[in-house]
Amino acid sequence: MPTSMPTPTQTAVHHRWSEIPPEQIGSSIARRFITGDRVTVAKFEFKRAAHVRSHAHESEEMLCATRRNNMARLLACIGAVALSMTISAQAADPASGVWELNLTKSTFVPATHTPRSQTRTYQVKGKQETARHTGVDAQGNPTLIEFTATYDGKDYPLKGYPDWDSIAMKRIDAYTTEFTQSRGGKVTLSGKRVVSKDGKTMTVTAKGTTAKGERVDYQIVLDKR
């Protein structure tokens, strides 16, 4: 990489709507909230003839409407919300997206390996990651690096690097990935990729040797576009 996962283990938290104090909105509407890391689920109760003013939200919203005591519809709504939450979590992987190399904050040893520019695009779906890095190297030549790998520690083809031909990845947690890069089946570089908790910065550290035996030490900082 100079370039994530088993899904991190989480503890389920159960809530009862009856145990959540309602917030009264006027005389006709009451609401309750359950808030997680990425999704908020709200339950609204409307009295007959209740009126809701026209409004809008910046975030995506999903609405299920049921009559009181209609358990079948309520369960269907819960299932739909759970599916929406799962899709949202998958789409929100911290590594996914487009990242720009920050040359000011990055260091390359030897300095002759410092590229003039680089843009990285990552797509993470479940336990599989697809990456595409485009840029310009120190000599002014265009570069293209590509790979698709699963977070299982096995080697997968790595295209575009003259010094490495495969990559293996393991996801440590939602923000951290460890990787090795090999040539001819021999590991010659190892590193780690960390995405900041605010999702704005990616830091890739790697140490190893090139095909010519030259030692390399990279700290690559990228900003989310």
Residues whose CB falls within 8 Å of the CB of residue 158, separated by 6 or more in sequence, listed in order: 145, 146, 147, 164, 165, 166, 167, 181
Residue 205 in domain? yes
Residue 198 in domain? yes
Residue 59 in domain? yes
Helix H or strand E segment including 188: strand 186-195
pLDDT at 8: 47
Rounded alpha-carbon distances, angstroms, from residue 153 to 28, 127, 194: 57, 11, 17
For residues 104 and 204, membership in a common domain is answered with: yes
For residues 83 and 103, membership in a common domain is answered with: no
Local mean pLDDT, 10-residue blocks, the chain (225 residues): 48 72 80 66 77 60 61 58 52 86 97 96 93 96 97 97 96 95 97 95 98 96 96
Cα(161)–Cα(10) distance, rounded to whole angstroms? 37
Q: How many domains would you assign to the chain?
A: 2
Chain length of the chain: 225
pLDDT at 2: 54
Picking from 49, 65, 91, the residue at the C-terminal end of a domain is 91
Q: Are 160 and 146 in contact (CB under 8 A)?
A: yes
Residue 6 in domain? no
pLDDT at 31: 78
For residues 208 and 114, membership in a common domain is answered with: yes
For residues 110 and 142, membership in a common domain is answered with: yes
Range of the domain at 75: 22-91
Taking the complete model, does pTM exceed 0.85, yes or no? Answer: no
Q: Are 33 and 19 in contact (CB under 8 A)?
A: no
Residue 11 in domain? no
Q: Are 119 and 134 in contact (CB under 8 A)?
A: yes
Q: Are 125 and 90 in contact (CB under 8 A)?
A: yes
Residue 5 in domain? no
> Which tokens in the block code for residue 32?
């309750």
Picking from 91, 112, 144, the residue at the C-terminal end of a domain is 91
Biggest alpha carbon distance in the chain? 78
SS3 69: coil
For residues 85 and 118, membership in a common domain is answered with: no
